[in-house]
Structure 1
């Protein structure tokens, strides 16, 4: 598949796609050194800066790698999936296992580090969860996640907060499906209130061991239900 000059428009995007097609189509196998920027620019009918941006995008996709003094080499035939894509495709049970690792530690840290302001936010989130019990499953799940997010934030670790935030979109839909599938709110619209109340009390009492244990038990119970489906 020979390279051809590009039409004016978003040139970087076009150049990136053309070069990606060359790689994924096997024209440049793994291990191949790409032509120099000047040669690529001439073949595509664009400037070197456009080629440079396209190569940077391909490097971000895990397809090529620049080696100082040697050039740019193909290192993969297919682009690497980004983190959000992997999460969307992951099984909810797998997400829950990793969620447990993040949140149990976060609960422990929250109990030791929480401020009075954090506690106000956590208690307010617990109250909103109770109020949401009268609404739809989606509203209830959103309120539940907001409470857990408040606990994670109280841990005072921005990396933990970012990790949890990345999980939320995939976690939300998985929880909505799980609650409806298992009928968890059929007999008790405010399912799990006692456990969440115990979690908040443990954090308020700065009892890190109890906070971690309460959350671990809650997540273990949900994970067991997931594995039984």
Structure 2
């Protein structure tokens, strides 16, 4: 009983850290030894607590990479499950509405930190997506994460917290959507992603909105893209 109580306490502590934004969606949480030091508990306790949050849908283990935050609360998980069951057309129409508006707002509101982040994430995303024949699940997951990180960074740059919270609830569905398709050069649309980020960085809201719309329509027409 004491052990279960301790696991529950650590689970609640980690859940609170996620809810407070210590680890954002897409972030890798600390390693087990680091979590042991942080919580003052044994490795088995930490492992059980993390597994509990994996079952709850807040965390995801990625073989050879670590454990990542995929949602910030259980309500977000439920909403994500709803989106995951949505039709492809419905999801893409919703994503277009969100991404285009976010791109326009990001071009108007991005700051120096946003610009630096977008440049770094775009460079990493494009480099990864040039790989041919990506079959390894861990590598595939890495490419998908890099792609979604660029799109999410644009929403972050909009500096609209409601948009960001809603977009984060879409991420599990978007990840599953991309995971069912191919990744790599054929579905990369590198030029489209580069045009979008460049317009946001340049502060050209009209060009950013059009670039987002053009890119998403290409992605919708090509099921092997992310």
Q: Please give the TM-score of this superposition, normalised by the length of structure 2.
A: 0.58
- Residue matched to 1:112: 108
- Residue matched to 2:119: 123
- In our comparison, the structure showing a higher alpha carbon Rg is 1
Aligned equivalents of 1:208 and 1:84: distance in 2? 29
Instruction: Quickly say closer, same or farther: Cα 1:190–1:130, change in 2 above 3 A.
Output: farther
- Residue matched to 2:54: none
CA contact 2:83–2:173 (8 Å) conserved in 1: yes
- Residue matched to 1:84: 80
Q: Which runs of 5+ in 1 are unaligned?
A: 1-81
Aligned equivalents of 1:202 and 1:191: distance in 2? 18
Counterpart among 188, 194, 197 of residue 197 in structure 1 = 194
Aligned equivalents of 1:119 and 1:93: distance in 2? 31
Aligned equivalents of 1:85 and 1:201: distance in 2? 33
Aligned equivalents of 1:105 and 1:155: distance in 2? 9
Q: Please state how far the C-alpha of 1:190 moved relative to its aligned partner.
A: 7.3
Q: Does 1:222 align with 2:225?
A: no
Q: Which runs of 5+ in 2 are unaligned?
A: 1-77
Q: Which has the higher contact order (CA 8 A, sep 6+)?
A: 2
Aligned equivalents of 1:97 and 1:220: distance in 2? 9
Aligned equivalents of 2:144 and 2:89: distance in 1? 17
- Residue matched to 2:156: 153
SS of residue in 2 equivalent to 1:178? coil
Q: Please give the TM-score of this superposition, normalised by the length of structure 1.
A: 0.57
Aligned equivalents of 2:157 and 2:203: distance in 1? 12
CA RMSD of aligned residues (A): 2.0
Aligned equivalents of 2:81 and 2:145: distance in 1? 21
Equivalence map 1:1-229=2 (5 Å) = 82-133=78-129, 134=131, 136-179=139-182, 185=184, 188=185, 191-226=188-223
Q: Please state how far the C-alpha of 1:189 moved relative to its aligned partner.
A: 5.8
Larger mean Cα displacement after TM superposition, 162-171 or 135-144: 135-144
Q: Please state how far the C-alpha of 1:138 moved relative to its aligned partner.
A: 2.6
- Residue matched to 2:21: none
Aligned residues: 140
